[in-house]
Structure 1
Amino acid sequence: MLDKRLGRRQVLQSTAALVGAGALGSAWTGPLFAQGKLEKPKVTLAVGGKSALYYLALTIAEQKGFFKDEGLDLEINDFAGGSRSLQALVGGSADVVAGAYEHTIRMQARGQEVQSFALIGRGMQIAIGIKADRADKVKSAADVKGMKFGVTAPGSSTHMLLIYWIAKAGLKATDVAAIGTGAGASVVAAVDKGEIDGVSQTDPVVTMLEQQGAIKVVVDTRTMKGNMDVFGGALPAASLYSTSDFVKANPNTVQALANAIVRANQWLQKATPDQVADTVPAGYLLGDRELYKKAFVNVKDVMSPDGLMPDNAPETCLKFLTTSDPAIKGDTIKLGLTWTNDFAKKANEKHKA
Structure 2
Amino acid sequence: MKRLGITLLGFLLLIITAACGTNQDKTTIQLAEVTRSVFYAPQYVAIEKGFFADEGIDIELKTAWGGDKTMTALLSDGADVALVGSETSIYVHAQDSNDQAVNFAQLTQTDGTFLVAKEPKPDFTWDDIKGSTFLGQRVGGMPQMVGEYVLKQHDLDPQTDLNLLQNIDFGNIPGAFSSGDAEYVQLFEPTASTFEKENKGHIIASFGEESGNVPYTSFMTKETFLDDNEQTVKQFTRAVYNAQEWVQNHSAEEIADVIQPYFEDTEKKMIASSIERYKDQDSFASNPKLDKEGWSNLKAIMDEAGELPEDARYEDLVNTTIAEEVIGK
Q: TM-score range by the shorter chain?
A: 0.7 to 0.9
Match of 2:114 in 1: 127
Deviation at 1:208, TM superposition (A): 2.6
Match of 1:3 in 2: none
Judging changes above 3 Å, is the alpha-carbon distance between structure 1 residues 340 and 121 closer, same or farther for their aligned structure 2 residues? same
Match of 2:71 in 1: 86
Which residue, out of 312, 316, 319, partners 2:297? 316
Partners of 2:272 and 2:55 in 1: how far apart?
29
Alignment of 1:93-242 (within 5 A): 93-112=78-97, 113-132=100-119, 139-144=127-132, 147-149=134-136, 151=137, 155-165=140-150, 169-172=156-159, 176-178=164-166, 179-182=168-171, 189-194=175-180, 197-217=183-203, 219-222=205-208, 226=209, 230-231=210-211, 233-242=212-221
3-state SS, counterpart of residue 93 of structure 2: helix
Deviation at 1:343, TM superposition (A): 1.5
Give per-residue Cα distances to partners, 1:249-284, cap 9 Å, x unaligned: 221111111111111101101112222121113451
Give per-residue Cα distances to partners, 1:12-63, cap 9 Å, x unaligned: xxxxxxxxxxxxxxxxxxxxxxxxxx9x92221111222x122111111111
Residue pair 2:135, 2:177 contacting (<8 A) in 1 also: no
1:284 aligns with 2:263: yes
More displaced stretch, 294-303 vs 40-49: 40-49
1:342 aligns with 2:321: yes
More displaced stretch, 171-180 vs 238-247: 171-180
Query: Which amino acid in structure 2 is aligned with residue 243 of structure 1?
Result: K
Judging changes above 3 Å, is the alpha-carbon distance between structure 1 residues 333 and 137 closer, same or farther for their aligned structure 2 residues? closer
Deviation at 1:129, TM superposition (A): 2.1
1:57 aligns with 2:33: no
Residue pair 1:141, 1:165 contacting (<8 A) in 2 also: no
Query: Which amino acid in structure 2 is aligned with residue 325 of structure 1?
Result: G
Query: Which amino acid in structure 1 is aligned with residue 131 of structure 2?
Result: D
3-state SS, counterpart of residue 143 of structure 1: coil
Residue pair 2:109, 2:213 contacting (<8 A) in 1 also: yes
3-state SS, counterpart of residue 120 of structure 1: strand
Q: Answer with 1 or 2: which has the greater Rg.
A: 2
Deviation at 1:97, TM superposition (A): 0.3
Deviation at 1:142, TM superposition (A): 4.3
Give per-residue Cα distances to partners, 1:280-312, cap 9 Å, x unaligned: 134516432222211111101221111122451
Alignment of 1:37-56 (within 5 A): 41-50=27-36, 52-56=37-41
Match of 1:21 in 2: none
3-state SS, counterpart of residue 98 of structure 1: strand
Percent identical among aligned pairs is 18
Deviation at 1:78, TM superposition (A): 0.6
Partners of 2:151 and 2:165 in 1: how far apart?
12
Partners of 2:106 and 2:308 in 1: how far apart?
25
Q: Unaligned 5+ residue runs, structure 2? A: 1-24
Match of 1:260 in 2: 239
Give per-residue Cα distances to partners, 1:100-132, cap 9 Å, x unaligned: 222222322332322111111122222232322
Judging changes above 3 Å, is the alpha-carbon distance between structure 1 residues 65 and 154 closer, same or farther for their aligned structure 2 residues? farther
3-state SS, counterpart of residue 272 of structure 2: helix
3-state SS, counterpart of residue 63 of structure 2: strand
3-state SS, counterpart of residue 176 of structure 1: strand
1:298 aligns with 2:284: no
3-state SS, counterpart of residue 145 of structure 2: helix
Partners of 2:117 and 2:220 in 1: how far apart?
32
Q: Name the Cα RMSD after superposition.
A: 3.2
Query: Which amino acid in structure 2 is aligned with residue 276 of structure 1?
Result: I
